[in-house]
Amino acid sequence: MTAAPVQVTARGAERWKQGHPWIYRTDVAEEPDKEPGIVRVTDRRGRFLGQALYSPKSEIRLRLLTRAETPLDAVWWGGRIAAAISHRMGIEANAWRAVHAEADGLPSLIIDKYGPWVVAQLLSAGLERSRDDVVAGIRAALSPQGILLRNDAGVRRHEGLPLEVVLAYGEVPEVVEVVEGGVKYLAAPWKGQKTGAFLDQRENRALVARHARPGGRALDLFTYHGSFALHLARPSAEVIAVDQSTEALARGAENASLNGIDNISWREANAFDLLRELERRKERFDTIVLDPPAFAKTKATVTRAVAGYKEINLRAMRILAPGGVLFTCSCSYHVGRDVFQAMIADAARDSGRRLQVITVCGAAGDHPELVNVPETGYLKGALLRAVD
């Protein structure tokens, strides 16, 4: 790597010192080549600060890889991926996140393992240039039968990168069977949401199932392929799983038969409308799950999003049976933990219910957050019990 280094301002250098791996466009002083890839970064006096992924078209210009001068080749990538994997032992599932980007010191890189296959996402222009080394590193660390790159995530647009799905190595099937705490479901690596399934809720699904009333009535709103519903079906007498997508529900039903489960009814509806109807009919549920999509996609839509979250939470609280539990969550990065908790408090007040906090939770442990990098956390949840 002989290219001229990228120089950053004192403020840029300070961010790395503070433990945040990103340096923004406005804190870059000199960028001689405008070619994405791994670059050396110095301060304005030419002092070496580290090596970073460089994205000349993105507001996030630099993502720190290391403060060392070592060559960042396939062996380095393999080593760092292996280090991340070493922190993920004992997961009760055959699908889990092996690398959670910034939080594992591998900015803009997501690696999910589905049985013997790997689905990865390369989410920055700088990283894209190291694609061959990253793929070699994944092969060295995980010896998979195939590696699929789900590089169709919208954030790649900010990097000037094409949205594409690419088979980088071996073969990856259309459908993969995931076994999670004894429950089976099918993931779709090529076409499903994210890398094929919502792995971040794994621990929360087990949590809710543990707290569901035996022989009770459960409601899973925004069920997608039914993964919460499947976990609730065992303790509960009856589960109603709701989604507005026919296709998602069909997959959910398929998953149920895969497990020999026949006590889930799949209901196509808008969750907002259905909640209103259930309330009007005075129906009651012992267990309710609210796992909506991100209502706030940008900062500007937070207020409206919070109103939406509050509405579904308020109505869910109202139809909760005495002693019943509600699992509620938000995956909107722009809705912070404090805002989320204030929303719950607000809804609880308006519902007139007395609600205990059983647990406040986030994403599963294989999707860690970095203490000083709020961007690594997006999922927040709470398990509540009605005690009035």
Give residues in contact with ligand SAH (CB under 6 A): 198, 201, 222-225, 227-228, 242-245, 248, 270-272, 291, 293
Which entry of 138, 331, 364, 379 is annotated as an active-site residue?
331
Active site residue 329: no
* Least Å from the CB of residue 108 to ligand SAH: 23
SS (H, E, C) 55-93: CCCCCEEEEEEECCCCCCCHHHHHHHHHHHHCCCCCCCE
The residues near 150 (Cβ < 8 Å, ≥ 6 apart) are 119, 120, 121, 165, 189, 194, 195, 196
CA distance 356 to 107: 38
Nearer to ligand SAH, 201 or 351 (CB): 201
Beta bridge partners of 114: 95, 117
- Residues facing 93 on adjacent strands: 180
Shortest reach from residue 95's CB to ligand SAH, in Å: 12
Closest CB to ligand SAH among residues 242, 320: 242
Enumerate the β-bridge partners of residue 120. 111, 149
Closer of 75 and 269 to ligand SAH (Cβ):
269
CB of 227 to ligand SAH, least distance (A): 4
Shorter beta-carbon distance to ligand SAH: residue 135 or 176: 176
Smallest distance, ligand SAH to C-beta of residue 293, A: 4
Q: H/E element holding 51? A: strand 48-54
Minimum CB separation of residue 268 from ligand SAH in Å reads 8
Query: Residues, the chain, total?
Result: 388
Dist CA 359 CA 1 (whole Å) = 49
Q: Looking at beta carbons only, is 339 or 379 nearer to ligand SAH? A: 379
Burial (CB count <10 Å: 0-12, 13-18, 19+), residue 232: buried
As annotated, the active-site residues are 331
